[in-house]
Structure 1
Amino acid sequence: MIPDFTALRAIGWPFSAAPTAGEWADIMAAHPDARPARVVEQHRSGYVVAEHPEQGFSVESLPEWQRPRLTPEKRPAVGDWLLIRGEPEHKPKAVALLPRRSTIKRAAAGEHYGQQLIAANIDTAFIVCGLDLDFNPRRIERYLLMVQGGAQPVVVLTKADVSGGANGDRANEARATLAELDAQDVPVCTVNALDHDSVATLHAWLGPGMTAVLVGSSGAGKSTLTNTLVGSERMKTGAVRENDARGRHTTTHRALISLASGGCLIDTPGMRELKPTGEEDLAESGFTDIEALARQCRFRNCQHDQEPGCALRNAIAAGTLDARRVGNYLKLDSEIAGAAERLAVRQAQTTGEKVRRSNTAKRTPKKTPKRGAPKRR
Structure 2
Amino acid sequence: MTTDFPDFAPLRAIGWPYAGIPEDAAWREAFATHPQARPARVVEQHRSGYVVADAPGAAVKAESLPEWQRPRFPAHERPAVGDWVLLEGKRIVALLPRHTAIKRGAAGEHYHQQVIAANIDTVFIVCGLDADFNPRRIERYLLLVGGGGAQTAAPQPVIVLTKADKTEYGPDAVATLEELAVQGVPVHAVNAKDPASVAVLEQYLGPGRTAVLVGSSGAGKSTLTNTLLGIEKMKTAAVRENDSRGRHTTTHRALIPLPSGACLIDTPGMRELKPTGEEDLGEGGFADIEALAGQCRFRDCSHQREPGCAVRAAIERGELDEERFLNYLKLRDEVAVAADKLANRLAQKSEAKVQGKALHKRLEDKYGKR
TM-score for the superposition, normalised by structure 1: 0.92
Equivalent in the alignment of 2:93 = 95
Following the alignment from structure 1 to structure 2, what is the Cα–Cα distance between the partners of residues 319 and 180?
12
Letter paired with 1:108: A
Following the alignment from structure 1 to structure 2, what is the Cα–Cα distance between the partners of residues 137 and 67?
39
Equivalent in the alignment of 1:156 = 160
**Any idea what SS the aligned residue of 2:297 has?**
coil
**Could you tell me whether the CA contact under 8 Å between 1:3 and 1:35 is conserved in 2?**
no
Q: Based on CA coordinates, which of the two structures has the bigger radius of gyration? A: 1
Letter paired with 2:164: A
Report deviation, 1:29. 2.2
Equivalent in the alignment of 2:151 = none
Following the alignment from structure 1 to structure 2, what is the Cα–Cα distance between the partners of residues 51 and 3?
12
Equivalent in the alignment of 2:16 = 13
Mapping 1:1-377, distance limit 5 Å: 2-20=5-23, 22-86=25-89, 92-148=90-146, 149=148, 150-163=154-167, 167=168, 170-364=169-363, 366=366
Report deviation, 1:27. 1.5
Instruction: Give the total of aligned pairs.
Output: 357
- Residues 118 and 20 (structure 1), Cα distance of their counterparts in 2 relative to 1, 3 Å cut: closer
Report deviation, 1:9. 0.4
Deviations 1:233-252 (A, max 9, x none): 11111111112211111111
Following the alignment from structure 2 to structure 1, what is the Cα–Cα distance between the partners of residues 305 and 345?
34
Report deviation, 1:151. 0.5
Report deviation, 1:2. 4.1
Gaps of 5+ in 2: 149-153
**Could you tell me whether the CA contact under 8 Å between 1:134 and 1:245 is conserved in 2?**
yes
**Any idea what SS the aligned residue of 1:27 has?**
helix
Q: Which runs of 4+ in 1 moved over 6 A?
A: none
Report deviation, 1:30. 2.2
Deviations 1:111-142 (A, max 9, x none): 01110000000000000011111111111000
Report deviation, 1:21. 5.4
**Any idea what SS the aligned residue of 2:141 has?**
helix
Following the alignment from structure 1 to structure 2, what is the Cα–Cα distance between the partners of residues 37 and 254?
17
Equivalent in the alignment of 1:374 = none
Following the alignment from structure 2 to structure 1, what is the Cα–Cα distance between the partners of residues 305 and 320?
17
Letter paired with 1:260: P
Letter paired with 1:227: N
**Any idea what SS the aligned residue of 1:256 has?**
strand
**Any idea what SS the aligned residue of 1:284 has?**
coil
Following the alignment from structure 1 to structure 2, what is the Cα–Cα distance between the partners of residues 181 and 342?
29
Gaps of 5+ in 1: 87-91, 368-377
Report deviation, 1:26. 2.2
- Residues 3 and 267 (structure 1), Cα distance of their counterparts in 2 relative to 1, 3 Å cut: farther
TM-score for the superposition, normalised by structure 2: 0.94
- Residues 192 and 67 (structure 1), Cα distance of their counterparts in 2 relative to 1, 3 Å cut: same
**Any idea what SS the aligned residue of 1:266 has?**
strand
- Residues 3 and 254 (structure 1), Cα distance of their counterparts in 2 relative to 1, 3 Å cut: farther
Letter paired with 1:128: V
Report deviation, 1:333. 0.6
Worse overlay, 1-10 or 65-74: 1-10
Following the alignment from structure 2 to structure 1, what is the Cα–Cα distance between the partners of residues 104 and 363?
43
Deviations 1:7-33 (A, max 9, x none): 010000001112255221222122211
Equivalent in the alignment of 1:375 = none
- Residues 325 and 360 (structure 1), Cα distance of their counterparts in 2 relative to 1, 3 Å cut: same
Following the alignment from structure 1 to structure 2, what is the Cα–Cα distance between the partners of residues 274 and 67?
25
Following the alignment from structure 1 to structure 2, what is the Cα–Cα distance between the partners of residues 209 and 108?
30
Report deviation, 1:289. 1.1
Deviations 1:204-232 (A, max 9, x none): 11111100000001111001001111111
**Could you tell me whether the CA contact under 8 Å between 1:84 and 1:96 is conserved in 2?**
yes
Report deviation, 1:326. 0.5
- Residues 158 and 3 (structure 1), Cα distance of their counterparts in 2 relative to 1, 3 Å cut: farther
Output the aligned Cα RMSD: 1.3
**Any idea what SS the aligned residue of 2:282 has?**
helix
Q: Percent identity?
A: 67
**Any idea what SS the aligned residue of 1:364 has?**
helix
**Could you tell me whether the CA contact under 8 Å between 1:3 and 1:36 is conserved in 2?**
no
Report deviation, 1:325. 0.5
Report deviation, 1:67. 1.8
